[in-house]
Chain A
């Protein structure tokens, strides 16, 4: 690289386009300063963008509001909220979806973390909550919150994703909705709690046991079968989310966390873990989370949320106001491991460029990727494709639907589920006006 500029910047002549339709090399993001040789932008600066001299705005001239015990967002951010499927709490499941198109970074704010509850939010007194481990163990044990709080704790980031996340992507025609509808039942937090293996060791698990049947203290005592392999690997009984005690709707005072595995298995309000030699074939594994295949066979025990990525900026719901420089940015994650590489295309997959993966990428956690882009005002199709450290690559849609199928007619209900575990690409078509549509390639 030539560093001819006295400020040590990168000359724009060195920043070759590395993908079609204006994708720039990720080294342009390295923070050395980018000095464009073209005179046009300098000319605009010289003219002056402001129509009048700068002056103090009203808020700069008097005292602000008093600080309260809890922080809050600016009133201008009131629209950064979750969308709800059942705001009146009718007798059916309730969903709240994360607005990925309005967020950045990797941690989902706790109050914007997606949640799905089948019987509302239980009001659990932490002093009275109990969790038992029993079944094929030497000694059945009961844990109170008070006792659990004294155990060694671990802290890690991980995403939680509903098996039904991205279900709209099964539609045979692209559904015109924001990421909140397309991929909103997936969020990422920093979680703190006690390794489940520590507690199982204490109870003494029978070596012939292979499963644990985990149950919540919610009204319907939601229950799933989990292989013990996951318990020994990285399962956590979580007590804290993003530094504070679990949100009530995230399982307060304790939930099971199975990093990278289907959201429904991460039992909230966990009250019972029964060690067994067989799965229970509970309602949710018997029906909802056994995805149907085109030949009418179905997968069961589809535990892992496979490698996935999507571009959040720009995305449906935003528009590019003018040609020029933009940063393409998005989220990548894999329930099998760590994101190794994310490729981005601006020409619908004809050419690809490696995005900068914001490090350190963490195991089974949201990983942010970036790539600079100079939009020339012509039609473009933006998409991303992630690869994890196990070599798992996000499948192209044509390959994905060959085995998994798609809906026979366009999906019209943006809150519908219908099949599970979609992990193919998400593509944004940009027209000459800068408007963004959801498209398939």
Chain B
């Protein structure tokens, strides 16, 4: 995502990191505003800046394929909760052909039959998995796991390389079936 360059005005309006000026002095013309936020650079935020947007914004360099992902899935113990072949265990199946049943509002919502964006997979695996050690996977490993799940669900071909360019373009079958409940709030 593009971010602002720091405008000269913003520099005038904000304190330096050293916090040299005191509010009582009001040298910066803040008036009644506290102005106590500490300026920070995007570079310093980067280790936390892990959100992936559906258009692919923020996807990191790197790539992976399904066969690599199958190995990562076992090596990192994903199978301990999600079962062999990601077919489900103590936690939900990630690869399944389970369909939703018309009229059954309790139908199981799976990655294949429900999720609207493939980018959600990368974002969630990287931020929250493995359960016992989230954010320890390399970006390549996350891409590979993403490819493994997408290929297992036949949402991509087996040999497709998943990376920042290909992932946002994966077509998710249920994508058009969402109704925004409160459009006026957005």
Cβ 8 A contact of A278, one of B37, B42, B55 = B55
Closest chain-A Cβ to B101's Cβ sits at a distance in Å of 8
Stretch of B59-67, B68-76, B119-127, B144-152 at the chain-chain interface:
B119-127
Contact residues, A209-235 vs B (CB, 8 A): 210, 213, 215, 219-221, 223, 227, 229-230
B29 part of interface (Cβ distance < 8 Å): no
Q: Does A301 contact B106, Cβ atoms closer than 8 Å? A: no
Contacts of B100 in A (CB 8 A): 292, 296
Give CA–CA (A405, B103) in the complex, Å: 7
Cβ 8 A contact of B54, one of A271, A280, A406 = A280
B31 part of interface (Cβ distance < 8 Å): no
| Also in contact, A91 and B106, with CB within 8 A (given A141-B38, A151-B36, A221-B134) | no
Residue on B nearest A203 in the bound complex, by CB: B37
A147 part of interface (Cβ distance < 8 Å): yes
| Also in contact, A170 and B55, with CB within 8 A (given A221-B134, A299-B181) | no
| Also in contact, A301 and B34, with CB within 8 A (given A140-B41, A276-B1, A283-B128) | no
Cβ 8 A contact of B128, one of A221, A271, A304 = A221
| Also in contact, A141 and B40, with CB within 8 A (given A91-B81, A272-B48, A295-B102) | yes
B138 part of interface (Cβ distance < 8 Å): no
Q: Does A139 contact B3, Cβ atoms closer than 8 Å? A: no
Q: Does B6 contact A138, Cβ atoms closer than 8 Å? A: yes
Chain B residues touching A, range: 35 or more
Stretch of A43-51, A128-136, A368-376 at the chain-chain interface:
A128-136
Q: Does B117 contact A215, Cβ atoms closer than 8 Å? A: no
Cβ 8 A contact of A297, one of B81, B117, B123, B178 = B178
Give CA–CA (A400, B57) in the complex, Å: 39
Interface string of B1-25 (1 = CB under 8 A from A): 1011011011001100000000000
Give CA–CA (A92, B92) in the complex, Å: 11
Residue on A nearest B91 in the bound complex, by CB: A92
B50 part of interface (Cβ distance < 8 Å): yes
Contacts of B90 in A (CB 8 A): 91-92
Contacts of B117 in A (CB 8 A): 281, 286
| Also in contact, A278 and B54, with CB within 8 A (given A300-B181, A404-B105) | yes
Contacts of A291 in B (CB 8 A): 105
Q: Does A220 contact B128, Cβ atoms closer than 8 Å? A: yes
Main secondary structure of the interface of B (DSSP, over half): loop
Q: Does B51 contact A138, Cβ atoms closer than 8 Å? A: no
Closest chain-A Cβ to B138's Cβ sits at a distance in Å of 17
Q: Does A151 contact B34, Cβ atoms closer than 8 Å? A: yes
| Also in contact, A220 and B127, with CB within 8 A (given A92-B91, A137-B4, A299-B181) | yes
Contacts of B171 in A (CB 8 A): none
Q: Does A298 contact B127, Cβ atoms closer than 8 Å? A: no
Give CA–CA (A163, B142) in the complex, Å: 29
A206 part of interface (Cβ distance < 8 Å): yes
Contacts of A283 in B (CB 8 A): 120, 123-124, 128
Give CA–CA (A298, B81) in the complex, Å: 27
A-B contact pairs, 8 of them (CB 8 A): A92-B91, A136-B3, A142-B37, A143-B37, A202-B34, A229-B185, A287-B114, A301-B180
Contacts of B177 in A (CB 8 A): 296-298
Chain A residues touching B, range: 35 or more
Extra inter-chain contacts (11) besides given A279-B54, A291-B105, CB under 8 Å: A136-B1, A139-B39, A151-B34, A151-B36, A198-B33, A272-B45, A283-B120, A294-B104, A300-B181, A301-B183, A419-B105
Contacts of B178 in A (CB 8 A): 290, 297-300
Cβ 8 A contact of A227, one of B41, B50, B55, B185 = B185
A159 part of interface (Cβ distance < 8 Å): no
B53 part of interface (Cβ distance < 8 Å): yes
Contact residues, B84-118 vs A (CB, 8 A): 90-91, 100-107, 109, 114-117
A408 part of interface (Cβ distance < 8 Å): yes
B162 part of interface (Cβ distance < 8 Å): no
Q: Does A298 contact B3, Cβ atoms closer than 8 Å? A: no
Q: Does B45 contact A140, Cβ atoms closer than 8 Å? A: yes
Q: Does A138 contact B7, Cβ atoms closer than 8 Å? A: yes
Q: Does A294 contact B105, Cβ atoms closer than 8 Å? A: yes
Cβ 8 A contact of B36, one of A91, A139, A150 = A150
Contacts of B48 in A (CB 8 A): 132, 215, 271-272
Contacts of B41 in A (CB 8 A): 140
Q: Does A141 contact B39, Cβ atoms closer than 8 Å? A: yes
Closest chain-A Cβ to B141's Cβ sits at a distance in Å of 17
Interface string of A100-140 (1 = CB under 8 A from B): 00000000000000000011000000000000111111111
Interface string of A65-104 (1 = CB under 8 A from B): 0000000000000000000000000011000000000000
